[in-house]
A and B are shown apart, each in its own frame.
Chain A
Amino acid sequence: MATIYIDNKPYQANEKQNLLHACLSLGFNIPYFCWHPAMNSVGACRQCAVKEFKDENDKRGKIVMSCMTAVRDGLRISIDDPEVKEFRARVIEWLMTNHPHDCPVCDEGGECHLQDMTVMTGHVYRRFRFRKRTYVNQDLGPFVNHEMNRCIQCYRCVRFYNEYADGRDFGVFACHNHVYFGRHKDGVLESKFSGNLVEVCPTGVFTDKTLKRHYTRKWDLQTAPSICPHCGMGCNTIPGERYGTLRRIRTRYSGQVNGYFICDRGRYGYEFVNSPERIKDPLRRVSGEGAGPGKYAPFEKGTALGAIKDVLNVSRGVMGIGSPRASLEANFALKKLVGAENFFLGIPDADYRILSLVLDIYTKGSARTPTLDEVESSDAILILGEDVSSTAPRLALAIRQAVKRKSFEAAGGMTIPYWDDKAVRIAAGGRRNPLFILSCSHTGLDDMAKERYFAAPDDLARLAFAFASRIDTGAPGPEGMSPDFKDLTARICGALESSKNPLIVCGAGAKNEGLVQGAANLAWALRKQGKSAFLSFVLPGANELGLGIIGGRPVADALKAIGEQKADTVIALENDLYRSLDKKNADTLLSAKFSITLDQISNETTKKSWAVLPAASFAESEGTYVNFEGRAQRFYKVFVQGGGTEESWKWLRDIMLEAGRPEASNWDTLDGILRDMANEIPVLAPITGIAPPETFRIAGMKVPRQPHRYSGRTAMHADKSLLEPKPPEDRDSALSFSMEGYAGVPPPALIQRFWAPGWNSVQALNKFQSEVGGPLRGGDPGKRLFEPGPGASPAYFAQVPPGFQPRKDEWLLLPVYHIFGSEELSMHAPGIASLAPDPYIALSEQDRLQLGKQEGEYMEVGIGETSYSLPVKPVRELPEGIALMPSGLPGLSGIGFPVWIKKPGKGARR
């Protein structure tokens, strides 16, 4: 730490940082535009000027840019010096000469960094009399709106898009004061992180296009801390609601999880909450008169509970199907309702085996699962069979940073401070940390990879075992590996061995257990060599790991029970059985006499159930998800949907209470069920402590979900009734549906928006962090459930899988994932759906030529009893004997990957 003097008062500052960073961390307000804690300094905007003095006798000083000045011991600066204040005001006046002054129609208005900084510098009146420069905008796709006139040339967008997220279709054009930020021509932005431009841009050049359709100012949004439900990363988000519909998602900074950025699926997938397909009332299949497939009639909550109680009383056996997208609480409640022996994890069998394996590895393993923050610090990465950029996009972004991290090392050697972005890049000269991708086809991270290798998952598993046995000879290795692999093994093992924090990434994507075991063996072998190796498994569901922790039997057992007529009632919890099982099995399960489904959006399963109970979406419920690293995180109700919608665990609780079951008697509030769950499941013991309890108050007050400037309170309901309704009560959390309450910074798990006096934009975040860019004040929220024991030395998986044997007239059909399309809920968002690919089948070039099919030509594919007609997409690198099909697309759901399918005869045309 160094002592610096700001306006003649001494302060302690970190000398590794630049002056702007240090001053903001100390709580000073210095205006800035181009600097961003995740992207460091370039000194482009000249806004963060301060005056530096030689010593205490120096009265003249010199103006320097604080973002380009290093902190050093004894540094004397002035922020309040009149000359430097004048300088900053003139700089912003100059930046504003061409600004279109259209704040009233600008979506950034009210949360605009440019507005905040203009007010902060005190510039009020435009003196520039000449014509304003204008630009023509571009259509950048369904997510990001472009309004170039508002640009102040801070370069943050290109730096994020091209340098941080490695996008290639965006850039800066033209010259002098005509500089233009955009694509070479209109078109959808390719990067899956393009939505972050909205938050990165300090003004309204890039705004949220989905928000534009139901625009609401930041001060009118009712917000609460939430967790993204669209993949297993557990990114922290802040959804905002107005007039009963969800309006947008913003990133909720978390130092250890998602940092400043989230992917476009997380940001734009929220629109499923507003979908017209939402189920809003309990429904019952119409029997007798007017009956027919898909004929449902709404019924009262009380009647519904009574009817279900009656069913439970007469039923021969009740089976519960859990869900990886339902909260811990909901799955636990269902397990209690049906009993442990009747609770089945509603995931495909391959996923079930992998999930059990992953849990086993996390529990007894010696390698730590990294936080996303730690992923960024690893210096050699091996990805085994997973397309991380599609199944866990935020992890892919972290891996990109890890690969580029080498540049800091290189610059450090030349005493270039890490924050001097341009200098670091030049010094690094393109040096990168090694990333190896072993998969069966190309992935979204290929551009970062040092080396790629394509093979069938079984072969990849054998390779992983081979790496492990090379690093630690005690580990079992495959017999008879081809000598071709010698070099590959040597290169990859060499890179891993020469690193400090190697990271092994695997996942459920390849649907291969051997691969998971091989990844674990490799990470453990590296641990044995004294490396602090990280091991990360990518799981698809938002709460897949949580579901595994709750624990239950595979669905195959449920099918057996139905077959043996041991059970005649099925309760499916937020689970479209036609997605997680194949059609035949789903039909079998729903052929039970009574099938009760709890879900948010109408789907195949709800259309075939006996009764449907409307479940609240993530934005309407409180609960806990466990993310891929084993971090339990709480999410909160943003709003109350109204109608008959209720949180799943509350439906199940009410059913239990109606049936007179004593287990649910303590589940009056969320804290009650959390306590029971923590007592019953030892791994979940910490979950009661991940967020403040319902009774938590600051100065006797709850934390308000509405900002203190929330408007229209007495008019928004006036068209229906002049009696202003009492706001809903939240008995499950320390947040309230009100403008009234504690106005300061709440504890990190309850941060419902980033705002501070004078800082209306998301950059107010600086005031919530204990150090700018560091953890939130009070620690990053969530608790990790798995930490490897200090002396853990797990036994290696001994079973080396046999190599892949291509069959002559069959393909092994494997899933391929798409960030837009493979996830169930986000496909109900129009923007995401418009970018999802159409169904196809990917064949290797060789197979395509053999079949004599052109690219895009249709082909009949029979899977089980279903036949699909799909266009052919050639994939050059695909190994022999393997075909790929997109996972989870509408029309292609319910395929039990991996599956062998018949090759059609040569030249067979439609």
Chain B
Amino acid sequence: MFSILKTMWYTFLHMFSRRFTVQYPDERPRIAPRWRGRIILSRDPDGQERCVACHLCSVACPVDCIALQAAEDETGRRYPEFFRINFSRCIFCGFCEEACPTYAIQLTNDFEMGEYHRHNLVYEKEHLLISGTGKYPGYNFYRVAGLAIGGKGKGQAENESPPVDVKDLMP
């Protein structure tokens, strides 16, 4: 009985304490740099799509809201033919960014994604792709990986020696 009165008294005293509410949008909240907001696809420093359509983000996604199809251009470079994120399902867990081997998929600070129609929350590649490198400047997957693509032949990646001459028997 006394504890009830005490509770009521303490609750009553809260009348005089500071309010926690942030008056968004009048007051802008402080967004941490690692905030997990709207997902984007970035480009490598050469301005090419970073995504190589490896499907790791889609398999890491716990709500299965990423669907894509791999395709290859005539030089052997992989890219997603379509890349779709259903943000009405997305839980912004960041697993996709964690899984991405090429820094292509990144979560940004933007969280203001409200829409009046749910289908506007389905983002296709043209909505996701930005023109910069996003959070990770400098990295280019194809400069490291051994696959030959347009403008980079075998043995021209970082830390690679020129292709072996099969007919050479020198030690």
Q: Mark B136-151, 1 if CB is under 8 A from A, else 0.
A: 0000010011111000
Assess whether B84 is in contact with A178, with CB atoms less than 8 Å apart.
Answer: no
Q: Mark A119-138, 1 if CB is under 8 A from B, else 0.
A: 00000000000111111110
Other-chain residue from B53, B63, B119, B166 in contact with A180 (beta carbon distance below 8 A): B166
Other-chain residue from B53, B84, B169 in contact with A719 (beta carbon distance below 8 A): B84
Q: Looking across the interface, which residue of chain B has its beta carbon closest to that of A101?
A: B145
Assess whether B66 is in contact with A715, with CB atoms less than 8 Å apart.
Answer: yes
- Kindly specify which of A37-45, A168-176, A550-558, A687-695 makes contact with the partner chain: A168-176
Minimum C-beta distance from A105 to chain B (A): 5
Residues of B within 8 A of A722 (CB): 86, 88, 118-119, 122
Other-chain residue from B59, B72, B89, B164 in contact with A174 (beta carbon distance below 8 A): B164
CA distance in complex: A180, B154 (Å): 15
Most buried by B among A102, A104, A133: A104
Known: A711-B64, A722-B119. A134 touches B161 (CB 8 A): yes
Minimum C-beta distance from B87 to chain A (A): 9
CA distance in complex: A104, B58 (Å): 13
Asked if A243 is at the interface of the complex by the 8 Å CB criterion, the answer is yes
CA distance in complex: A710, B66 (Å): 11
Residues of A within 8 A of B163 (CB): 134-136
The A-contacting residues of B in range 40-70, CB under 8 angstroms, are: 52-56, 58-59, 61, 63-70
Interface SS majority for chain A: loop
Asked if B112 is at the interface of the complex by the 8 Å CB criterion, the answer is no
Residues of B within 8 A of A710 (CB): 64
Q: Looking across the interface, which residue of chain A has its beta carbon closest to that of B68?
A: A712
Assess whether B84 is in contact with A718, with CB atoms less than 8 Å apart.
Answer: yes
Minimum C-beta distance from B143 to chain A (A): 12
Known: A101-B145, A217-B59, A722-B86. A135 touches B164 (CB 8 A): yes
CA distance in complex: A751, B160 (Å): 43
Q: Count of B residues near A, CB < 8 Å?
A: 51
Assess whether B160 is in contact with A132, with CB atoms less than 8 Å apart.
Answer: yes
Q: Mark B69-104, 1 if CB is under 8 A from A, else 0.
A: 111100000100000111011000000000001100
Assess whether B67 is in contact with A137, with CB atoms less than 8 Å apart.
Answer: no
CA distance in complex: A101, B169 (Å): 27
CA distance in complex: A243, B144 (Å): 32
Minimum C-beta distance from A182 to chain B (A): 8
**Chain A interface extent, by class:** 35 or more
Most buried by B among A109, A133, A215, A712: A712
Assess whether A718 is in contact with B122, with CB atoms less than 8 Å apart.
Answer: yes
Most buried by B among A100, A105, A180, A219: A105
Known: A104-B54, A136-B163, A147-B147. A712 touches B64 (CB 8 A): yes
CA distance in complex: A54, B104 (Å): 55
Other-chain residue from B58, B145, B154 in contact with A711 (beta carbon distance below 8 A): B58
Other-chain residue from B67, B147, B166, B167 in contact with A100 (beta carbon distance below 8 A): B147
Assess whether B146 is in contact with A132, with CB atoms less than 8 Å apart.
Answer: yes
The B-contacting residues of A in range 793-811, CB under 8 angstroms, are: none
The B-contacting residues of A in range 712-731, CB under 8 angstroms, are: 712-716, 718-719, 721-722
Asked if A621 is at the interface of the complex by the 8 Å CB criterion, the answer is no
Minimum C-beta distance from A304 to chain B (A): 34
Other-chain residue from A103, A150, A176, A716 in contact with B171 (beta carbon distance below 8 A): A176
Assess whether B67 is in contact with A712, with CB atoms less than 8 Å apart.
Answer: yes
Could you name 6 residue pairs across A and B whose Cβ atoms are closer than 8 Å?
A105-B145, A110-B55, A178-B164, A219-B59, A711-B61, A715-B64
